[in-house]
Chains A and B, each alone.
Chain A
Amino acid sequence: MEQIVKTAFPFIVFAVAILLAFQGVLMIVAYTVLAERKVLGWIQGRIGPNRVGPWGVLQPFADLLKFIFKEDLVPDKSTKFIYFLAPLVALTCALLPIVVYPFGPVINTIDWSFLPYGLGEGITQLPMTIARIDVGVLFVLGITSVGVYGIALAGWSSNNKYSLMGGLRSSAQMISYELAMGASVIGVVMLAGTLDLSGIIQAQITSPFKWYIIPQFIGFIVFLIAAFAETNRVPFDLPEAETELVAGFHTEYSALKFALFFMAEYVNMFTVSVMCVTLFLGGWYVPGLGKILTPGSIPYALVSHVAFIGKICAFLFLYIWIRGTLPRFRFDQLMNFGWKFLLPLALLNVILTIVIVYFLNS
C-alpha cells in the first residue's frame, strides 16, 4: 500500500495541478465571452446581456446549455473523420500551452511533514507552474503552429467553397504572422538568456529595467499586432467576417463543434495574452512588492498571482476594445502588412537588440 502511494504520488500531484489550472483557465475564458458582449455593448451604446443572472453573470452557462441542445448537422459529402477531428485539434492545441504558464512565484514556507508515509521529506518548494520546460517559449510557439491545422482541415473537410477559402485565408494569415511573432520574441530571449518562461521572469526581476517592455518596446508592439493576427481577431478577422465568407471555416459546424471552435478562439486569446504578459510585462512580478511582503511566502504568491490575472484581464479588455473600434483589413493589405512591414520591423528589433547587448556586455 505504501509503495503504491509513493509511486503514484507525483502523478496525483500533477493531476491536481492540471485540474486546477484548467478549471481556472476555462472559467476565465467563459467570462471573457460574457465580458466581450457586455463591453462591446457599452462601446456601441447599449447594454450587453443582462437577463440571465444579475448583470448577465450566468450567461456563459446559458450559452453552454444552448450549444449542447442544438441540432448537430453533418454535411453529407464532407470527409467525416477530418470533419470531426478539426475542432478537437483546434481546442487541444489551444489548451495545451497551459502547462508551461508561470502562474505565480515559488512558495517556500509550507512545511510538508503533514503528508503520510514520509512523502514530505526533502521537499522545500512549491512552484506555481505545472511543468518547467527548458524550451517553454518554443513549446508555446510550436503548439500554436500546430493549431493552424484545426482551421485548415475544418475549411477543407466541410466540402463548401466558402469554408475552403476561409480556411485557406485564415491559415495563410496565421503562418505569416507566426514569423513576426517568433522574431519579436528573439529580443526578449536574448536579454533573458533562456527560453524557460519562469527563467524569463527571473531575468526581468534581476534586470535594471524591471519589465522588458521598456527596452523591447518595438518587440512588444510587433508581438501585440502579430498576436491579433494569430488569433483571427479584429482588425484581422476577414476569414470569419459574415459579409465576406458567410462564417468562414466554421460555416458548416453546428452546436457543440462550433462551441469548441469558439472556445478555441478565446483560449488562443488567453494564450497570447499570457505570453505578452510573461515576456514583456514581467508575468507575476510586481516591482516593489518584495519590500512589503516576504518573497516565497503565501501572501506574496497570492498577490502576485492576482496581479498576473489582472494583467491578463487588461490585455483581454484591450482585445475587446480594439474589436469595438477598428475596421478590418482587406486580405491583400493584411498579407502585405505582415510580410513587408511587420517582419522587417521585427528583424530590425533583433539587430538593434544584438548591437545593444553586445556593447553592454563587452
Chain B
Amino acid sequence: MFVKTYHFLLLTSHLIKMATTALFFVFAGLAIACALSTVYHRNPLYSAVSLIGVFISLSCIYVTLAAPFIAAVQILIYAGAIMVLVIFVIMLLNLDEDKPYRKLNYLYALGGFLGIVLLAQTFFIFVAVKKAPQTPVNTDETVGKTLNIGANMYTEYLLPVEIVGVLLLMAIIGGVILVRRLSQPELTLIVNNELDRRNEGDEKDDYRIAL
C-alpha cells in the first residue's frame, strides 16, 4: 500500500531478479502442467478447462515482463471470450470422450520421432542463445503501458491494425453467410370448425394462419 519508489529503496536489484526468476518458473511450470493436462485428458471439457489455465499462466508471465495491457487483454479475449465459445461448442455438441483407436498405432511412433526432432531444435536454440553476445536489456517500463501501445498502434503500426480489422470483418461476414437460411420454411395452421360445417362448400369458413 506504499508508493512504488519505496520498494526500490529497500529491495536490492538482486532480490528483484531472484523474485522475477522464481515467479517465472512458477508460472511457466503451471503453464506446462496445464498444457500437458490439455493433451492428456479424454474428456474434452477437462482439456478446455486446462487450456484456460494455460492462458491465465501466460497472462501472469506477461505481467512479470512489464506488459500489463497485453496481460489484461489476454485474459479478456482469450480466456474470457474465445474459450467460452469453445466450451459452448463442447457442451452443446455433447462430445463423447476420446477412445483409443487401435489401427493407428504407428502414429505414436511417428509422433514420438517428431517430438524428439522438436526437442533437439529447442536445445539448439537454447545453446545458440547462451553463446550469443549479450545485448543490454531495455529497462524502459513505460513501453508496455496502454498509452504507448495506443499511440504506436495508430501512428506507426496503423496499416497492420487496419488489416486486422478487415480480417475480423471477413470472419464476421463469413459466419453470417454460413448460418443464414435462404428461404424461410412456410407453415400454415388450419383451424377448422368442423362442428359448425353443414355443407361441403363451407370450408371457406376455416381460418388459415401463416407461421
Contact = CB atoms under 8 A, between A and B. Distances in A.
A43 B3 CA distance: 47
A123 B2 contact: yes
Interface residues of A, number: 45
Contact of B1 (A127, A149, A156): A127
B79 A134 contact: no
Contacts of A155: 91
A143 B15 CA distance: 30
A10 to B, nearest CB: 6
B80 interface: yes
Contact of A168 (B5, B52, B88): B88
A10 B7 contact: yes
A342 B35 CA distance: 38
Closest 6 CB pairs of A and B: A145-B80, A138-B72, A142-B76, A142-B75, A135-B72, A17-B1
Given A149-B52, A152-B87, A13 B2 contact: yes
Contacts of B69: 134-135, 138
Contact of B91 (A135, A138, A152): A152
A149 B3 CA distance: 35
Contacts of B145: 134
Nearest to A148: B84
Interface of B: 1-3, 5-7, 9-11, 15, 43, 45-46, 49, 52, 56, 68-69, 71-73, 75-76, 79-81, 83-84, 87-88, 91-92, 145-147
A79 B75 contact: no
Given A152-B88, A156-B91, A175-B81, A122 B146 contact: no
Contacts of A9: 10
A351 interface: no
Considering residues B2, B71, B87, B91, which has the most beta carbons from chain A within 10 angstroms of its beta carbon? B2
B34 to A, nearest CB: 13
B211 to A, nearest CB: 16
Nearest to B142: A134
B96 to A, nearest CB: 14
Contact of A14 (B1, B45, B72, B87): B1
A146 B79 contact: yes
Nearest to B69: A135
Contacts of B6: 10, 122-123
